[in-house]
């Protein structure tokens, strides 16, 4: 979608409902069917990098697949730990951490994909409090977006935990106008805003025949009280 540099178009997506994942398939499968999805996120506000990997069968939306010995997945030579609740492998690092995802499958074939954090993103003029009946103007500074990059803004009402996400694919630097009508829908109180620069690609350096996906994000967060 296209937008001008002064007004953000909200195509809100409710995020309050939980996402139910498929039960991991436990039987031995052809390792060429395993589709990896890698995600590397840097949070500037927390100065933390999170590396994450998940696996499914045949495609991104296929049945969740849990690695079995001797299969492993690492980032920057650190083993990612599996979360039963989330169905993915992850590890956190202090500071910006660039490196390689290395996935070794049950056949001991190794797939290596280098990855780096997207360009930096800065936000200015976000007030600590703002009248809910007035447009909110926020200044964003970043380099021009590539074809496979977007700016993502996630607004979360910390009282109700209702989240709405908006996207832009053609902004470089300038003012974003957040419409008062949108703010009214969030309600009064404390609202967390997460600003993300997101790059998504299926062009992996090394993958098996079903391919894979890499998502990298640079994000920062802040809060504003609406009244």
DSSP calls for 130-168: E-TTS-EEEEEE-PPPPTTEEEEEEEEETTT--EEEEEE
Q: What are the pLDDT digits (tens) for 190-212?
A: 999 999 999 999 999 999 999 99
Q: Is residue 148 part of a domain?
A: yes
Number of domains in the chain: 2
Rounded Cα gap, residues 197 and 95, in angstroms = 17
Q: Is residue 99 part of a domain?
A: yes
CATH number at residue 39: 2.60.40
Which tokens in the block code for residue 208? Answer: 């098996």
The domain in which residue 93 lies consists of 35-115
Greatest mean pLDDT among 17-21, 41-45, 173-177, 179-183: 41-45
- Residue 60 and residue 76 share a domain: yes
- Residue 222 and residue 143 share a domain: yes
Q: How large is the average pLDDT for residues 133-148?
A: 88
Q: What are the pLDDT digits (tens) for 168-188?
A: 877 756 778 888 888 888 888
In 3D, which of 173, 95, 179 has the Cα closest to residue 139? 173
Residue that is last in its domain, among 66, 98, 115: 115
The per-residue pLDDT of the chain, averaged, comes to 85
Q: How large is the average pLDDT for residues 209-217?
A: 95
- Residue 104 and residue 131 share a domain: no
Report phi then psi at 24, rounded to 5. Answer: -60, 140
């Amino acid at each position: 979608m296209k937008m001008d540099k002064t007004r953000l178009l909200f195509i809100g997506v409710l995020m309050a409902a939980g996402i139910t994942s498929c039960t991991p398939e436990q039987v031995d499968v052809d390792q060429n069917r395993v589709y990896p999805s890698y995600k590397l996120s840097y949070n500037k506000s927390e100065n933390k990098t999170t590396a994450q990997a998940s696996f499914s069968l045949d495609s991104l939306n296929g049945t969740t697949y849990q690695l079995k010995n001797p299969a492993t997945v690492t980032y920057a030579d650190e083993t990612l730990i599996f979360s039963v609740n989330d169905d993915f492998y992850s590890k956190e690092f202090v500071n910006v951490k660039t490196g390689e995802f290395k996935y070794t499958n049950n056949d001991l074939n190794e797939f290596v994909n280098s990855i780096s954090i997207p360009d930096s993103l800065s936000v200015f003029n976000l007030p600590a409090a703002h009248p809910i009946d007035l447009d909110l103007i926020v200044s964003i500074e970043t380099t021009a977006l590539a074809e496979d990059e977007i700016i993502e803004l996630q607004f979360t009402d910390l009282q109700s935990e209702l989240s709405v996400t908006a996207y832009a694919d053609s902004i470089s630097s300038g003012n974003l106008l957040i419409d008062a009508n949108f703010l009214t829908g969030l309600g009064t109180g404390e609202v967390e805003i997460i600003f993300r620069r997101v790059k998504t690609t299926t062009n992996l350096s090394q993958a098996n025949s079903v391919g894979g996906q890499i998502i990298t994000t640079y994000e920062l967060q802040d809060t504003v009280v609406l009244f």
